[in-house]
């Protein structure tokens, strides 16, 4: 594979993994690739054999030609679709039924809701996740939201000195 191709494949595989809401460790278990190899693939490194992608292709049901495309996108509700396929599988079902990653929860739940149309404090966002059965520390949420400058607006609270509020970028 050419360098540009490995970069595209790596970016797309990372996008798939994040759209499922899995850590590199859990995804590597499901696709039968070592975590170290997955890290290299996602980074767009060269020097790996194409057969390393076989497990990813088999599990995700995307073809090599699909994940090689620059304009590749993961379908909405992809995690739910995989749960329907693998829900009865001992390993995949257990992993897919675990709490998704924080980034997944922010992108696919918090930002897809109306919740952040008005500014919210971290404690309110923590409760939003807790109501869905997801437990994250306020500090972890705060760090993740600060990294999402293309989607989140952070403003100092009007009356609480050390408190920020978070809302969707409009």
Find, among 93, 88, 78, the residue nearest to 21 by Cα.
Answer: 78
Which is nearest to 68 in space by CA: 118, 10, 133, 28?
10
* Whole-angstrom distance, CA of residue 9 vs CA of residue 41: 8
Q: Report pTM.
A: 0.82
77-86 exposure pattern, b = at least 16 Cβ within 10 A, e = fewer: ebbeebeeeb
Q: Report how far apart, in Å, the C-alpha atoms of 52 and of each of 18, 32, 35, 41, 45 are.
A: 19, 9, 12, 9, 13
pLDDT in tens, the chain (170 residues): 444 588 999 999 999 999 999 999 999 999 999 999 999 999 988 777 778 899 999 999 999 999 999 999 999 889 999 999 998 999 999 999 999 999 999 999 999 999 999 999 999 999 999 999 999 999 999 999 999 999 999 999 888 888 999 999 98
- The confidence score (pLDDT) of residue 3 equals 43
| Number of CB atoms found within 10 A of residue 158's CB | 8
């Amino acid at each position: 594979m050419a360098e540009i191709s490995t970069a595209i494949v790596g970016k797309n595989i990372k996008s798939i993994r994040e759209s499922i809401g899995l850590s590199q460790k859990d995804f590597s278990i499901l696709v039968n690739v070592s975590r170290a190899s997955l890290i290299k693939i996602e980074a767009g490194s060269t020097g790996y054999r194409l057969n390393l992608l076989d497990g990813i292709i088999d599990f995700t049901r995307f073809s090599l030609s699909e994940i090689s495309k620059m304009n590749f996108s993961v379908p909405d509700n992809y995690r739910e679709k995989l749960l329907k396929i693998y829900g009865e599988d001992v390993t995949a079902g257990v992993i897919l039924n675990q709490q998704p990653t924080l980034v997944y929860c922010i992108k696919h739940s918090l930002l897809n809701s109306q919740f952040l149309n008005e500014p919210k404090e971290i404690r309110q966002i923590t409760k939003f996740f807790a109501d869905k059965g997801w437990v994250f520390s306020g500090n972890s949420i705060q760090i993740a939201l600060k990294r999402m400058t293309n989607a989140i607006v952070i403003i100092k609270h009007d009356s609480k000195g050390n408190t920020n509020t978070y809302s969707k970028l409009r």
